[in-house]
Amino acid sequence: MILFSRDGDAISFNDESSPHSHATGGTKVCINGQVNRALSVEWFYKLLALFPDIPGELKSARIIAGFNKLPTESRNSIWRSLRRVQIHIVDARWFYRVIAMRRPGFIELESKGSHYIQAADFAAGIASDIYASHKLTGVVERFEYVTFNGERVSLSDAEEHVRKEKAE
């Protein structure tokens, strides 16, 4: 999905991923990565370089596995720019996703047609993997800008959400 400015130039590129609900205690969430054209996607090209033998579009699961196997120094190098991708998490029980995606300015395209959309997919997949194992707090610790159900969350907000979720 691409968000356009008034002049028709794409300003950000979005794609989504969702962790398996068995890893999130049965809660279904949608995780959307938003890549801004003005920011570096060097991290994306570093991840692509891990799979030179795979033609066509790479899927997040392969990228996550390759990323997690990298030496710590290489992962940290990628995180320096990957952390600037905006991550939006929506609890699907709130039906928020349908409303959010109907805003003017959004169009849907195949991700294989744009490296920016593929980068958003990779970022969403990595955030989804983190969410599955470390919940909202893990995602907020890794990415600079994270929203949950439309509201930007801080680490303390995320910790409070996890405490409430455990109490339910």
Q: Position 163: which residue type? A: R
Mean pLDDT of the chain: 75
- For the ranges 12-26, 67-81, 153-167, which has the lowest average pLDDT? 12-26
CA 110, 112, 114, 119 torsion-angle sign: positive
- pLDDT value at position 153? 93
Domain ranges of the chain: 2-167
What pLDDT is recorded for position 6? 42
Taking the C-alpha atoms of residue 135 and residue 157, their distance in angstroms, rounded to an integer, is 12
Residue 162's pLDDT is what? 83
- The CA distance from 68 to 104, in Å, is 37
Mean pLDDT, residues 146-157 taken together = 90
Q: What is the pTM of this model?
A: 0.71
> What does the alpha-carbon distance between residue 95 and residue 110 come to, in Å, rounded to a whole number?
24
Please tell me the predicted confidence (pLDDT) of residue 145.
93
* Torsion angles phi and psi, residue 35, rounded to 5: -100, 125
Residue 137 has pLDDT above 90, yes or no: yes
Q: Taking residues 112-136, what's their average pLDDT? A: 82
Q: What is the pLDDT of residues 63-100, one digit of tens each?
A: 888 888 999 999 999 999 999 988 888 776 554 445 44
